[in-house]
Amino acid sequence: MSNDTEPAPRSALVDEIASQIRARIMSGEIAIGAQLRQAELANELGVSRTPIREALRQLQTSGLIEVVPNRGAVVRVPVPWEVREAYQVRAQLEGFATELAVKRISDAEIATLREANETMREATVHPPALQPGEEPPTTTANDVFHTTIHQASGNQRLARTINEINETFPRNVSWLVLRDDQRHREQNVREHERILEAIVAGDGERARREMVEHVVGAGEHLARWYERRSATVFVG
Amino acid sequence: MSNDTEPAPRSALVDEIASQIRARIMSGEIAIGAQLRQAELANELGVSRTPIREALRQLQTSGLIEVVPNRGAVVRVPVPWEVREAYQVRAQLEGFATELAVKRISDAEIATLREANETMREATVHPPALQPGEEPPTTTANDVFHTTIHQASGNQRLARTINEINETFPRNVSWLVLRDDQRHREQNVREHERILEAIVAGDGERARREMVEHVVGAGEHLARWYERRSATVFVG
DNA sequence: CATCCCTAAGATGGATCCATTCTTGCTACG
DNA sequence: CGTAGCAAGAATGGATCCATCTTAGGGATG
Protein backbone atom coordinates (compact mmCIF):
# COMPACT_ATOMS: atom_id res chain seq x y z
CA MET A 1 0.00 0.00 0.00
CA SER A 2 3.03 2.25 0.08
CA ASN A 3 4.79 1.61 -3.20
CA ASP A 4 3.28 2.37 -6.55
CA THR A 5 5.66 0.95 -9.05
CA GLU A 6 2.79 0.13 -11.28
CA PRO A 7 3.90 -0.31 -14.85
CA ALA A 8 0.29 -1.03 -15.66
CA PRO A 9 -2.40 1.46 -16.52
CA ARG A 10 -0.95 4.85 -15.76
CA SER A 11 -2.91 6.05 -12.78
CA ALA A 12 -4.31 9.52 -13.13
CA LEU A 13 -2.44 12.32 -11.46
CA VAL A 14 -5.58 13.50 -9.74
CA ASP A 15 -6.08 10.15 -8.06
CA GLU A 16 -2.49 10.24 -6.89
CA ILE A 17 -2.96 13.73 -5.45
CA ALA A 18 -6.14 12.67 -3.72
CA SER A 19 -4.33 9.70 -2.20
CA GLN A 20 -1.57 11.90 -0.87
CA ILE A 21 -3.93 14.38 0.71
CA ARG A 22 -5.99 11.55 2.15
CA ALA A 23 -2.85 9.98 3.59
CA ARG A 24 -1.89 13.22 5.26
CA ILE A 25 -5.28 13.46 6.88
CA MET A 26 -5.32 9.81 7.86
CA SER A 27 -1.94 10.08 9.56
CA GLY A 28 -2.98 13.18 11.43
CA GLU A 29 -0.38 15.30 9.66
CA ILE A 30 -3.37 17.41 8.69
CA ALA A 31 -5.58 17.59 11.77
CA ILE A 32 -9.36 17.34 11.81
CA GLY A 33 -10.93 20.75 11.47
CA ALA A 34 -7.88 22.09 9.65
CA GLN A 35 -8.29 24.25 6.57
CA LEU A 36 -7.06 22.89 3.25
CA ARG A 37 -5.80 25.79 1.19
CA GLN A 38 -5.54 25.00 -2.49
CA ALA A 39 -2.53 27.19 -3.19
CA GLU A 40 -0.64 25.71 -0.29
CA LEU A 41 -1.32 22.13 -1.34
CA ALA A 42 -0.45 23.02 -4.91
CA ASN A 43 2.92 24.34 -3.79
CA GLU A 44 3.72 21.40 -1.58
CA LEU A 45 2.75 18.82 -4.17
CA GLY A 46 4.38 20.69 -7.03
CA VAL A 47 1.33 21.05 -9.26
CA SER A 48 -1.10 23.78 -10.12
CA ARG A 49 -4.38 24.32 -8.35
CA THR A 50 -6.43 22.56 -11.02
CA PRO A 51 -5.70 18.94 -10.08
CA ILE A 52 -5.89 19.92 -6.42
CA ARG A 53 -9.40 21.15 -6.89
CA GLU A 54 -10.48 17.95 -8.57
CA ALA A 55 -8.85 15.88 -5.86
CA LEU A 56 -10.68 17.85 -3.20
CA ARG A 57 -13.95 17.09 -4.93
CA GLN A 58 -13.16 13.41 -4.66
CA LEU A 59 -12.41 13.70 -0.98
CA GLN A 60 -15.59 15.69 -0.58
CA THR A 61 -17.82 12.99 -2.03
CA SER A 62 -16.06 10.34 -0.01
CA GLY A 63 -17.01 12.39 3.04
CA LEU A 64 -13.56 13.00 4.46
CA ILE A 65 -13.59 16.75 3.97
CA GLU A 66 -16.27 19.38 3.79
CA VAL A 67 -16.29 22.05 1.10
CA VAL A 68 -18.14 25.26 1.82
CA PRO A 69 -18.70 27.37 -1.29
CA ASN A 70 -16.32 30.32 -1.50
CA ARG A 71 -14.88 29.45 1.89
CA GLY A 72 -12.79 26.44 1.11
CA ALA A 73 -12.34 22.94 2.42
CA VAL A 74 -11.82 21.71 5.97
CA VAL A 75 -11.21 18.25 7.33
CA ARG A 76 -14.54 17.08 8.66
CA VAL A 77 -14.79 16.84 12.43
CA PRO A 78 -16.89 13.78 13.22
CA VAL A 79 -19.64 14.19 15.78
CA PRO A 80 -19.88 11.29 18.27
CA TRP A 81 -23.29 10.16 17.09
CA GLU A 82 -21.96 10.06 13.52
CA VAL A 83 -19.21 7.75 14.68
CA ARG A 84 -21.70 5.47 16.40
CA GLU A 85 -23.91 5.40 13.33
CA ALA A 86 -21.05 4.63 11.02
CA TYR A 87 -19.74 1.85 13.21
CA GLN A 88 -23.19 0.34 13.52
CA VAL A 89 -23.23 0.11 9.75
CA ARG A 90 -19.67 -1.10 9.57
CA ALA A 91 -20.39 -3.72 12.19
CA GLN A 92 -23.18 -5.19 10.09
CA LEU A 93 -20.98 -5.25 7.03
CA GLU A 94 -18.01 -6.77 8.83
CA GLY A 95 -20.31 -9.31 10.43
CA PHE A 96 -21.64 -10.28 7.05
CA ALA A 97 -18.13 -10.46 5.63
CA THR A 98 -17.13 -12.78 8.43
CA GLU A 99 -20.09 -15.02 7.84
CA LEU A 100 -19.25 -15.25 4.15
CA ALA A 101 -15.58 -15.78 4.90
CA VAL A 102 -16.25 -18.80 7.05
CA LYS A 103 -17.47 -20.69 3.99
CA ARG A 104 -14.62 -19.76 1.68
CA ILE A 105 -11.55 -19.03 3.73
CA SER A 106 -8.33 -20.80 2.77
CA ASP A 107 -5.69 -22.29 5.04
CA ALA A 108 -3.26 -19.59 3.96
CA GLU A 109 -5.70 -16.89 4.97
CA ILE A 110 -6.29 -18.54 8.31
CA ALA A 111 -2.54 -18.59 8.81
CA THR A 112 -2.47 -14.86 8.05
CA LEU A 113 -5.16 -14.22 10.62
CA ARG A 114 -3.22 -16.25 13.23
CA GLU A 115 -0.08 -14.33 12.45
CA ALA A 116 -1.83 -10.97 12.70
CA ASN A 117 -3.27 -11.89 16.07
CA GLU A 118 0.11 -13.07 17.25
CA THR A 119 1.65 -9.75 16.24
CA MET A 120 -1.11 -7.89 18.01
CA ARG A 121 -0.70 -9.88 21.19
CA GLU A 122 3.05 -9.39 21.13
CA ALA A 123 2.72 -5.63 20.62
CA THR A 124 0.09 -5.46 23.30
CA VAL A 125 2.26 -7.20 25.87
CA HIS A 126 5.39 -5.28 24.93
CA PRO A 127 4.27 -1.95 23.50
CA PRO A 128 7.18 -0.57 21.47
CA ALA A 129 8.28 3.04 21.62
CA LEU A 130 7.00 5.00 18.66
CA GLN A 131 7.89 8.15 16.85
CA PRO A 132 5.05 10.64 16.81
CA GLY A 133 3.00 10.01 13.70
CA GLU A 134 4.28 6.46 13.40
CA GLU A 135 1.67 3.77 13.00
CA PRO A 136 1.61 1.32 15.95
CA PRO A 137 2.08 -2.35 15.05
CA THR A 138 -1.18 -3.20 16.76
CA THR A 139 -3.08 -1.01 14.35
CA THR A 140 -1.27 -2.48 11.38
CA ALA A 141 -1.96 -6.02 12.54
CA ASN A 142 -5.56 -5.08 13.23
CA ASP A 143 -5.88 -3.92 9.64
CA VAL A 144 -4.37 -7.10 8.31
CA PHE A 145 -6.84 -9.13 10.31
CA HIS A 146 -9.89 -7.28 9.06
CA THR A 147 -8.68 -6.90 5.49
CA THR A 148 -7.94 -10.59 5.25
CA ILE A 149 -11.50 -11.37 6.27
CA HIS A 150 -12.82 -8.92 3.69
CA GLN A 151 -10.81 -10.65 1.02
CA ALA A 152 -11.90 -14.05 2.19
CA SER A 153 -15.53 -12.99 1.95
CA GLY A 154 -15.10 -12.97 -1.81
CA ASN A 155 -17.32 -9.91 -2.17
CA GLN A 156 -15.32 -6.99 -3.49
CA ARG A 157 -18.14 -4.53 -3.20
CA LEU A 158 -18.50 -5.42 0.44
CA ALA A 159 -14.80 -4.78 1.02
CA ARG A 160 -15.04 -1.49 -0.81
CA THR A 161 -18.06 -0.33 1.16
CA ILE A 162 -16.38 -1.11 4.47
CA ASN A 163 -13.34 0.75 3.28
CA GLU A 164 -15.36 3.80 2.35
CA ILE A 165 -16.71 3.95 5.87
CA ASN A 166 -13.29 3.55 7.43
CA GLU A 167 -11.83 6.29 5.30
CA THR A 168 -14.29 8.74 6.78
CA PHE A 169 -12.36 8.84 10.04
CA PRO A 170 -8.67 9.71 10.36
CA ARG A 171 -6.74 6.64 11.34
CA ASN A 172 -4.42 8.33 13.78
CA VAL A 173 -7.35 8.84 16.11
CA SER A 174 -7.63 5.07 16.39
CA TRP A 175 -3.97 5.00 17.37
CA LEU A 176 -4.60 7.50 20.12
CA VAL A 177 -7.61 5.58 21.35
CA LEU A 178 -5.50 2.46 21.73
CA ARG A 179 -2.35 4.12 22.98
CA ASP A 180 -3.60 5.07 26.41
CA ASP A 181 -5.88 2.17 27.06
CA GLN A 182 -4.09 -1.06 27.87
CA ARG A 183 -7.36 -2.72 28.83
CA HIS A 184 -8.91 -1.89 25.47
CA ARG A 185 -5.90 -3.30 23.67
CA GLU A 186 -6.14 -6.55 25.58
CA GLN A 187 -9.85 -6.75 24.93
CA ASN A 188 -9.16 -6.22 21.25
CA VAL A 189 -6.80 -9.17 21.15
CA ARG A 190 -9.23 -11.40 23.01
CA GLU A 191 -12.07 -10.52 20.69
CA HIS A 192 -9.96 -11.16 17.63
CA GLU A 193 -9.05 -14.53 19.00
CA ARG A 194 -12.65 -15.42 19.67
CA ILE A 195 -13.59 -14.41 16.14
CA LEU A 196 -10.79 -16.48 14.68
CA GLU A 197 -11.84 -19.39 16.85
CA ALA A 198 -15.36 -19.28 15.50
CA ILE A 199 -14.07 -19.01 11.94
CA VAL A 200 -11.83 -22.03 12.37
CA ALA A 201 -14.72 -23.93 13.93
CA GLY A 202 -16.76 -23.10 10.84
CA ASP A 203 -19.47 -21.50 12.93
CA GLY A 204 -20.57 -18.66 10.67
CA GLU A 205 -23.38 -17.51 12.88
CA ARG A 206 -21.19 -17.19 15.95
CA ALA A 207 -18.35 -15.59 14.01
CA ARG A 208 -20.76 -13.02 12.72
CA ARG A 209 -22.11 -12.23 16.15
CA GLU A 210 -18.65 -11.88 17.65
CA MET A 211 -17.54 -9.60 14.85
CA VAL A 212 -20.57 -7.35 15.10
CA GLU A 213 -20.02 -6.97 18.79
CA HIS A 214 -16.33 -6.35 18.30
CA VAL A 215 -16.83 -3.56 15.80
CA VAL A 216 -19.61 -1.89 17.73
CA GLY A 217 -17.36 -1.91 20.76
CA ALA A 218 -14.53 -0.31 18.82
CA GLY A 219 -16.93 2.32 17.56
CA GLU A 220 -18.03 3.08 21.08
CA HIS A 221 -14.45 3.67 22.16
CA LEU A 222 -13.85 5.91 19.17
CA ALA A 223 -17.05 7.84 19.77
CA ARG A 224 -16.08 8.45 23.37
CA TRP A 225 -12.73 9.79 22.27
CA TYR A 226 -14.51 12.34 20.09
CA GLU A 227 -16.80 13.18 22.99
CA ARG A 228 -13.86 13.93 25.26
CA ARG A 229 -12.24 15.94 22.52
CA SER A 230 -15.22 18.17 21.87
CA ALA A 231 -15.63 18.70 25.61
CA THR A 232 -12.00 19.79 25.79
CA VAL A 233 -12.37 22.14 22.89
CA PHE A 234 -15.45 23.80 24.29
CA VAL A 235 -13.99 24.19 27.76
CA GLY A 236 -10.42 25.11 27.06
CA MET B 1 -23.70 35.83 19.18
CA SER B 2 -24.73 32.52 17.74
CA ASN B 3 -25.60 33.62 14.27
CA ASP B 4 -25.70 30.92 11.69
CA THR B 5 -27.91 33.23 9.69
CA GLU B 6 -27.64 31.05 6.65
CA PRO B 7 -30.90 31.57 4.80
CA ALA B 8 -29.82 29.29 2.01
CA PRO B 9 -26.91 26.93 2.36
CA ARG B 10 -26.25 27.91 -1.22
CA SER B 11 -25.30 24.64 -2.83
CA ALA B 12 -22.20 24.78 -4.92
CA LEU B 13 -22.57 24.93 -8.65
CA VAL B 14 -20.44 21.84 -9.02
CA ASP B 15 -22.80 19.79 -6.90
CA GLU B 16 -25.70 21.02 -8.98
CA ILE B 17 -23.90 20.03 -12.18
CA ALA B 18 -23.09 16.61 -10.77
CA SER B 19 -26.72 16.11 -9.84
CA GLN B 20 -27.88 16.98 -13.32
CA ILE B 21 -25.45 14.63 -14.99
CA ARG B 22 -26.33 11.91 -12.51
CA ALA B 23 -30.01 12.44 -13.21
CA ARG B 24 -29.45 12.07 -16.93
CA ILE B 25 -27.65 8.81 -16.41
CA MET B 26 -30.21 7.55 -13.93
CA SER B 27 -33.08 8.25 -16.30
CA GLY B 28 -31.29 6.54 -19.15
CA GLU B 29 -31.09 9.75 -21.15
CA ILE B 30 -27.38 9.01 -21.15
CA ALA B 31 -27.04 5.28 -21.70
CA ILE B 32 -24.63 2.97 -19.93
CA GLY B 33 -21.38 2.73 -21.84
CA ALA B 34 -21.90 6.16 -23.39
CA GLN B 35 -19.05 8.63 -23.58
CA LEU B 36 -19.31 11.82 -21.55
CA ARG B 37 -17.58 14.57 -23.48
CA GLN B 38 -16.70 17.55 -21.37
CA ALA B 39 -17.15 20.17 -24.07
CA GLU B 40 -20.56 18.79 -24.96
CA LEU B 41 -21.78 18.78 -21.35
CA ALA B 42 -20.34 22.25 -20.85
CA ASN B 43 -22.34 23.52 -23.81
CA GLU B 44 -25.57 21.87 -22.78
CA LEU B 45 -25.36 23.05 -19.18
CA GLY B 46 -24.16 26.51 -20.10
CA VAL B 47 -20.93 26.51 -18.13
CA SER B 48 -17.27 26.08 -18.91
CA ARG B 49 -15.43 22.80 -18.74
CA THR B 50 -13.95 23.47 -15.31
CA PRO B 51 -16.99 22.72 -13.16
CA ILE B 52 -17.83 19.82 -15.46
CA ARG B 53 -14.48 18.25 -14.75
CA GLU B 54 -14.94 18.56 -11.02
CA ALA B 55 -18.43 17.12 -11.24
CA LEU B 56 -17.11 14.17 -13.22
CA ARG B 57 -14.59 13.51 -10.47
CA GLN B 58 -17.43 13.31 -8.01
CA LEU B 59 -19.33 10.86 -10.16
CA GLN B 60 -16.13 8.90 -10.58
CA THR B 61 -15.60 8.40 -6.86
CA SER B 62 -19.22 7.50 -6.38
CA GLY B 63 -18.63 4.77 -8.95
CA LEU B 64 -21.23 5.77 -11.49
CA ILE B 65 -18.77 6.61 -14.24
CA GLU B 66 -15.29 5.48 -15.15
CA VAL B 67 -12.56 7.93 -16.08
CA VAL B 68 -9.68 6.67 -18.14
CA PRO B 69 -6.74 9.09 -18.25
CA ASN B 70 -6.58 11.02 -21.50
CA ARG B 71 -9.49 9.07 -22.86
CA GLY B 72 -12.37 10.57 -21.00
CA ALA B 73 -15.31 9.35 -19.01
CA VAL B 74 -17.88 6.70 -19.81
CA VAL B 75 -20.93 5.54 -17.92
CA ARG B 76 -19.90 2.35 -16.16
CA VAL B 77 -21.43 -0.81 -17.54
CA PRO B 78 -22.15 -3.07 -14.58
CA VAL B 79 -21.08 -6.68 -14.88
CA PRO B 80 -23.66 -9.18 -13.60
CA TRP B 81 -21.50 -10.40 -10.75
CA GLU B 82 -20.99 -6.80 -9.65
CA VAL B 83 -24.74 -6.36 -9.47
CA ARG B 84 -25.10 -9.51 -7.38
CA GLU B 85 -22.34 -8.38 -5.04
CA ALA B 86 -23.79 -4.93 -4.61
CA TYR B 87 -27.26 -6.26 -3.94
CA GLN B 88 -25.92 -8.74 -1.42
CA VAL B 89 -24.46 -5.80 0.45
CA ARG B 90 -27.53 -3.70 -0.02
CA ALA B 91 -29.70 -6.55 1.22
CA GLN B 92 -27.77 -6.73 4.47
CA LEU B 93 -28.04 -3.00 4.95
CA GLU B 94 -31.73 -2.86 4.12
CA GLY B 95 -32.33 -5.80 6.39
CA PHE B 96 -30.58 -4.05 9.20
CA ALA B 97 -32.51 -0.86 8.50
CA THR B 98 -35.74 -2.77 8.68
CA GLU B 99 -34.81 -4.35 11.98
CA LEU B 100 -33.97 -0.96 13.41
CA ALA B 101 -37.10 0.57 11.96
CA VAL B 102 -39.36 -1.92 13.71
CA LYS B 103 -38.35 -0.45 17.05
CA ARG B 104 -38.80 3.18 16.13
CA ILE B 105 -41.33 3.46 13.36
CA SER B 106 -44.21 5.90 13.85
CA ASP B 107 -47.82 5.47 12.92
CA ALA B 108 -47.46 8.11 10.24
CA GLU B 109 -44.60 6.21 8.68
CA ILE B 110 -46.57 2.99 8.76
CA ALA B 111 -49.37 4.81 7.00
CA THR B 112 -46.90 5.95 4.36
CA LEU B 113 -45.75 2.37 3.84
CA ARG B 114 -49.35 1.19 3.48
CA GLU B 115 -50.06 3.92 0.98
CA ALA B 116 -46.97 3.11 -1.06
CA ASN B 117 -47.92 -0.54 -1.20
CA GLU B 118 -51.46 0.38 -2.21
CA THR B 119 -50.11 2.52 -5.04
CA MET B 120 -47.85 -0.31 -6.13
CA ARG B 121 -50.65 -2.84 -6.13
CA GLU B 122 -52.89 -0.51 -8.06
CA ALA B 123 -50.25 0.20 -10.68
CA THR B 124 -49.46 -3.50 -10.91
CA VAL B 125 -53.05 -4.47 -11.55
CA HIS B 126 -53.66 -1.62 -13.98
CA PRO B 127 -50.31 -0.73 -15.53
CA PRO B 128 -50.66 2.79 -16.95
CA ALA B 129 -49.34 3.78 -20.35
CA LEU B 130 -46.05 5.63 -20.07
CA GLN B 131 -44.03 8.01 -22.16
CA PRO B 132 -40.58 6.69 -22.91
CA GLY B 133 -38.26 7.90 -20.17
CA GLU B 134 -41.13 8.42 -17.77
CA GLU B 135 -40.77 6.83 -14.37
CA PRO B 136 -43.40 4.15 -13.69
CA PRO B 137 -45.52 4.68 -10.56
CA THR B 138 -44.50 1.26 -9.29
CA THR B 139 -40.89 2.34 -9.16
CA THR B 140 -41.76 5.58 -7.44
CA ALA B 141 -43.87 3.79 -4.86
CA ASN B 142 -41.12 1.25 -4.40
CA ASP B 143 -38.71 4.05 -3.61
CA VAL B 144 -41.09 5.62 -1.13
CA PHE B 145 -41.44 2.29 0.64
CA HIS B 146 -37.72 1.71 1.00
CA THR B 147 -36.83 5.32 1.76
CA THR B 148 -39.43 5.49 4.50
CA ILE B 149 -37.87 2.46 6.15
CA HIS B 150 -34.42 4.03 5.89
CA GLN B 151 -35.71 7.14 7.60
CA ALA B 152 -37.48 5.12 10.24
CA SER B 153 -34.26 3.29 11.03
CA GLY B 154 -32.97 6.54 12.49
CA ASN B 155 -29.48 5.89 11.17
CA GLN B 156 -28.56 8.50 8.59
CA ARG B 157 -25.29 6.91 7.70
CA LEU B 158 -27.09 3.69 6.95
CA ALA B 159 -29.48 5.50 4.64
CA ARG B 160 -26.60 7.23 2.93
CA THR B 161 -24.66 4.02 2.41
CA ILE B 162 -27.65 2.29 0.87
CA ASN B 163 -28.15 5.29 -1.35
CA GLU B 164 -24.56 5.21 -2.53
CA ILE B 165 -25.03 1.64 -3.63
CA ASN B 166 -28.26 2.37 -5.44
CA GLU B 167 -26.75 5.28 -7.29
CA THR B 168 -24.22 2.96 -8.86
CA PHE B 169 -26.85 1.53 -11.17
CA PRO B 170 -29.01 3.56 -13.54
CA ARG B 171 -32.58 3.54 -12.35
CA ASN B 172 -34.17 3.21 -15.74
CA VAL B 173 -32.84 -0.32 -15.95
CA SER B 174 -34.99 -1.22 -12.96
CA TRP B 175 -37.95 0.15 -14.87
CA LEU B 176 -37.18 -2.06 -17.82
CA VAL B 177 -36.77 -5.06 -15.56
CA LEU B 178 -40.24 -4.53 -14.15
CA ARG B 179 -41.94 -3.44 -17.34
CA ASP B 180 -41.93 -6.79 -19.07
CA ASP B 181 -42.36 -9.03 -16.09
CA GLN B 182 -45.83 -9.00 -14.63
CA ARG B 183 -44.97 -11.94 -12.37
CA HIS B 184 -42.04 -10.06 -10.91
CA ARG B 185 -44.19 -7.04 -10.25
CA GLU B 186 -46.74 -9.11 -8.40
CA GLN B 187 -44.04 -10.81 -6.42
CA ASN B 188 -42.69 -7.42 -5.51
CA VAL B 189 -46.02 -6.31 -4.12
CA ARG B 190 -46.44 -9.51 -2.14
CA GLU B 191 -42.98 -9.23 -0.62
CA HIS B 192 -43.54 -5.65 0.34
CA GLU B 193 -46.74 -6.62 2.05
CA ARG B 194 -45.08 -9.40 3.97
CA ILE B 195 -42.38 -7.02 5.11
CA LEU B 196 -44.91 -4.46 6.20
CA GLU B 197 -46.82 -7.19 8.00
CA ALA B 198 -43.76 -8.17 9.98
CA ILE B 199 -43.01 -4.55 10.80
CA VAL B 200 -46.52 -3.94 12.07
CA ALA B 201 -46.32 -7.15 14.10
CA GLY B 202 -43.15 -5.78 15.66
CA ASP B 203 -41.20 -8.86 14.60
CA GLY B 204 -37.81 -7.35 13.81
CA GLU B 205 -36.12 -10.63 13.09
CA ARG B 206 -38.71 -11.73 10.57
CA ALA B 207 -38.91 -8.29 8.97
CA ARG B 208 -35.19 -8.37 8.51
CA ARG B 209 -35.22 -11.80 6.94
CA GLU B 210 -38.01 -10.89 4.55
CA MET B 211 -36.26 -7.71 3.51
CA VAL B 212 -32.94 -9.44 2.88
CA GLU B 213 -34.63 -12.01 0.72
CA HIS B 214 -36.60 -9.34 -1.10
CA VAL B 215 -33.56 -7.28 -2.00
CA VAL B 216 -31.45 -10.27 -3.00
CA GLY B 217 -34.27 -11.34 -5.28
CA ALA B 218 -34.47 -7.91 -6.87
CA GLY B 219 -30.71 -8.01 -7.39
CA GLU B 220 -30.99 -11.35 -9.10
CA HIS B 221 -33.54 -10.01 -11.55
CA LEU B 222 -31.38 -7.00 -12.26
CA ALA B 223 -28.27 -9.13 -12.71
CA ARG B 224 -30.08 -11.35 -15.18
CA TRP B 225 -31.12 -8.31 -17.18
CA TYR B 226 -27.49 -7.30 -17.48
CA GLU B 227 -26.63 -10.87 -18.45
CA ARG B 228 -29.13 -10.83 -21.27
CA ARG B 229 -27.90 -7.43 -22.33
CA SER B 230 -24.26 -8.40 -22.56
CA ALA B 231 -25.22 -11.55 -24.47
CA THR B 232 -27.11 -9.40 -26.96
CA VAL B 233 -24.25 -7.01 -27.34
CA PHE B 234 -21.72 -9.73 -27.94
CA VAL B 235 -23.91 -11.54 -30.44
CA GLY B 236 -25.33 -8.59 -32.34
C1' DC C 1 -13.80 52.39 24.80
C1' DA C 2 -16.77 49.64 22.09
C1' DT C 3 -19.10 49.30 17.65
C1' DC C 4 -19.76 49.92 12.93
C1' DC C 5 -18.11 50.57 8.37
C1' DC C 6 -15.11 50.59 4.82
C1' DT C 7 -11.18 49.20 2.38
C1' DA C 8 -7.53 45.98 1.06
C1' DA C 9 -5.55 41.53 0.91
C1' DG C 10 -6.35 36.71 0.30
C1' DA C 11 -8.80 32.77 -1.35
C1' DT C 12 -12.12 30.44 -4.14
C1' DG C 13 -14.41 29.44 -8.57
C1' DG C 14 -15.35 29.85 -13.43
C1' DA C 15 -13.25 30.73 -17.95
C1' DT C 16 -9.59 30.39 -21.03
C1' DC C 17 -5.07 28.94 -22.90
C1' DC C 18 -1.91 25.59 -24.53
C1' DA C 19 0.81 21.23 -24.47
C1' DT C 20 0.14 16.35 -24.85
C1' DT C 21 -2.24 12.29 -26.00
C1' DC C 22 -5.56 9.67 -28.31
C1' DT C 23 -8.28 8.77 -32.44
C1' DT C 24 -9.20 8.43 -37.08
C1' DG C 25 -8.70 8.32 -41.80
C1' DC C 26 -5.73 8.32 -45.65
C1' DT C 27 -1.75 6.68 -47.99
C1' DA C 28 1.91 3.75 -49.19
C1' DC C 29 3.89 -0.56 -49.13
C1' DG C 30 4.04 -5.56 -48.82
C1' DC D 1 -6.35 -6.62 -51.05
C1' DG D 2 -4.86 -6.13 -46.46
C1' DT D 3 -1.86 -3.99 -43.18
C1' DA D 4 1.39 -0.83 -41.26
C1' DG D 5 2.47 3.86 -40.71
C1' DC D 6 1.73 8.59 -40.60
C1' DA D 7 -0.55 12.93 -40.29
C1' DA D 8 -4.56 15.83 -39.15
C1' DG D 9 -8.27 16.61 -36.04
C1' DA D 10 -10.27 16.25 -31.54
C1' DA D 11 -10.37 15.65 -26.72
C1' DT D 12 -8.21 15.59 -22.25
C1' DG D 13 -5.36 17.67 -18.59
C1' DG D 14 -2.44 21.03 -16.34
C1' DA D 15 -1.52 25.98 -15.95
C1' DT D 16 -2.96 30.57 -15.86
C1' DC D 17 -6.16 34.55 -15.81
C1' DC D 18 -9.62 37.23 -13.70
C1' DA D 19 -14.08 38.18 -11.31
C1' DT D 20 -16.29 37.53 -6.91
C1' DC D 21 -16.74 36.42 -2.29
C1' DT D 22 -14.80 36.32 2.30
C1' DT D 23 -12.33 38.04 5.97
C1' DA D 24 -9.07 40.73 8.52
C1' DG D 25 -7.58 45.26 9.90
C1' DG D 26 -7.84 50.13 10.62
C1' DG D 27 -10.17 54.28 11.33
C1' DA D 28 -14.14 57.07 12.31
C1' DT D 29 -18.07 57.77 15.20
C1' DG D 30 -21.37 57.51 18.99
Strands laid side by side in the B65-68 sheet? B35-36, B72-75, B65-68
- B137 with B128: CB under 8 angstroms? yes
> Which pLDDT tens digit goes with each residue over A147-200?
999 999 999 999 999 999 999 999 999 999 988 889 999 999 999 999 999 999
> Which pLDDT tens digit goes with each residue over B106-152?
999 999 999 999 999 999 999 888 887 788 999 999 999 999 999 99
Span A50-75, average pLDDT: 97
The Cα A108–Cα A6 span in angstroms is 26
pLDDT of residue A11: 56
- Does the CB of B196 sit below 7 A from strand D? no
Residues 6 or more apart whose Cβ sits within 8 Å of residue B189: B117, B120, B121, B124
Res. A3: pLDDT tops 50: no
Between B139 and A6, the more confident residue is B139
- Give the model's confidence band at B234: pLDDT under 50 very low, under 70 low, under 90 confident, else very high: low
Q: What percent of chain A has pLDDT over 90?
A: 85
Chain A CB contacts of B155 under 8 Å are: 85, 88-89
- Give the model's confidence band at A41: pLDDT under 50 very low, under 70 low, under 90 confident, else very high: very high
Res. A218: pLDDT tops 90: yes
Domain ranges of chain B: 13-75, 80-235
CATH number of A13-75: 1.10.10.10
Between B129 and B198, the more confident residue is B198
Nearest CA in chain A to B56: A54
Res. B1: pLDDT tops 50: no
Q: What is the three-class DSSP state of B82?
A: helix
Q: Which alpha helices (DSSP H) does B126-181 contain, by range? A: 137-153, 156-166, 171-179
The interface predicted TM-score (ipTM) is 0.92
- A223 with A87: CB under 8 angstroms? yes
CATH fit for domain B80-235, picks 3.40.50.1000, 1.20.120.530, 4.10.520.10, 1.10.357.10: 1.20.120.530
Q: Which residues pair with A72 in a beta bridge?
A: A68
Q: Can A13-75 and A80-235 be said to share one CATH topology?
A: no
**Taking the alpha carbons of A77, A82, A83, A86 in that order, is the dihedral positive or negative?**
negative
> Which pLDDT tens digit goes with each residue over B3-18?
333 333 445 899 999 9
The Cα B103–Cα B105 span in angstroms is 6
- A222 with A87: CB under 8 angstroms? yes
Q: Beta-carbon neighbour count of residue A171 at 10 Å?
A: 16
Chain A CB contacts of B60 under 8 Å are: 58
> Which pLDDT tens digit goes with each residue over A90-117?
999 999 999 999 999 999 999 999 999 9
- B38 with B49: CB under 8 angstroms? yes
Interface contact B69-A10, CB threshold 8 A: yes
